[in-house]
Amino acid sequence: MNNKYKFCVLSLCIILFFVNSIFAQTTSKNKDEFIDYSDIQIGDYYFADGSISHELSENKQCVGVVFSLKTTETERANGWTHGQIVALADAGKGQGYRWMSLDADFSKCNVKTATIADCRADKNGYSYSHAIWNTWVWAFNNAFGVARYYNFRGNMVSKSKTSDWYLPSIGQWYDIIENLGHVKILADGNFNDMKRAQRNLDEKIGLAPTMYWSSSSKGFLGAWVAVLRAGNINSYDKNYACSIRAVAAF
């Protein structure tokens, strides 16, 4: 065996060694990419198959971001005990929709969110959404119908691990804004840093600086809104057109 041949064999072995090393590192990284539910953090990415990662993955469809590590009593009764996620895109193609018909039966929907002081504690978006869906002929031209339709627009999640998408309550909007926007909402409903909230929410989940409906009714005429363009929580007439962003429990 001449020296030239030996050199070629040695070079090939070195190349194969480095290729295998890179492959092993990549495989190890991919293996560790998806975490156990016990290691969930605010801001983690949630994928369509129910897996979760601290980082985005190019190999799976990311459908949401974790904004809360708590679920409601109703959600826990259905087996969703780990937290809640917010979708990565607006429902209804980002268009504005009215809240709901004024003559709808809201007897099973919340009527206690009467003042700004009541808003933070109101986390029952799942119950409110299903109350409307189950007791009223909802349509695709209002907030509840648009949130419902989001489940059928290529945004399916693992039904064994995740609830359906629904319209978040105003208290859930507090969690989204504070936990992912990294600001505080003051007692009067104003953000302590509007620009920071807008920037962080846009970067993390693509929220536009506009107005988003919650599922929390203030009364017969009004419902609560996350007003990102002005940096506050406020109530608006139910016929006003606002954007829709869905959430889910897991």
Question: To the nearest whole number, what is the mean pLDDT of the chain?
Answer: 86
Q: What is the DSSP string of 73-107?
A: HHHHHTT--S-EEEESS-BGGG--BBS--TTS--T
Residue 17: per-residue pLDDT: 47
Note whether 24 and 72 are same-domain residues: no
Note whether 173 and 56 are same-domain residues: yes
Helices 170-181 and 194-205, axial angle in degrees (round to 10): 90
Note whether 20 and 59 are same-domain residues: no
Residue 189 falls in which region: left (phi positive, over 0), alpha (psi -120 to 50) or beta: left
Q: How many domains is the chain built from?
A: 2
Q: What is the pLDDT of residues 46-76, one digit of tens each?
A: 999 999 999 999 889 999 999 999 999 999 9
Pseudo-torsion of CA 88, 89, 90, 92, nearest 10°? -140
Note whether 130 and 179 are same-domain residues: yes
Count of residues for the chain?
250
Please compute the mean of the pLDDT values over residues 130-147 and round it to a whole number: 82
Which strand ranges, in their side-by-side order, compose the sheet holding 211-217? 211-217, 222-227, 232-237
Note whether 47 and 23 are same-domain residues: no
Note whether 22 and 145 are same-domain residues: no
Q: Which residue has the higher pLDDT, 16 or 236?
A: 236
Other residues' Cβ atoms within 10 Å of the Cβ of residue 163: 23
Note whether 18 and 40 are same-domain residues: no
Q: What is the pLDDT of residues 144-167, one digit of tens each?
A: 999 999 998 766 788 889 999 999
Judge whether residue 195 has pLDDT over 50: yes
131 CB-side CA count, 13 A:
19
Please compute the mean of the pLDDT values over residues 175-203 and round it to a whole number: 98
Residue 80: per-residue pLDDT: 96
H runs (alpha helix) in 97-242:
116-119, 125-135, 143-149, 170-181, 194-205
Q: What is the DSSP string of 15-62?
A: HHHHHHHHHHHHHHHHHHHBPPGGG--TT-EEETTS-EESS--SSS-E
Note whether 71 and 171 are same-domain residues: yes
Note whether 21 and 113 are same-domain residues: no
Note whether 168 and 45 are same-domain residues: yes
Q: Which two tokens stand for residue 126?
A: 């799942």
Q: What is the pLDDT of residues 99-129, one digit of tens each?
A: 986 555 555 555 568 899 999 999 999 999 9
pTM above 0.95, yes or no: no
Note whether 50 and 13 are same-domain residues: no
- Range of lowest pLDDT (45-54, 152-161, 168-177, 198-207): 152-161
Domain hosting 12: range is 1-33
Other residues' Cβ atoms within 10 Å of the Cβ of residue 188: 9
Note whether 213 and 193 are same-domain residues: yes
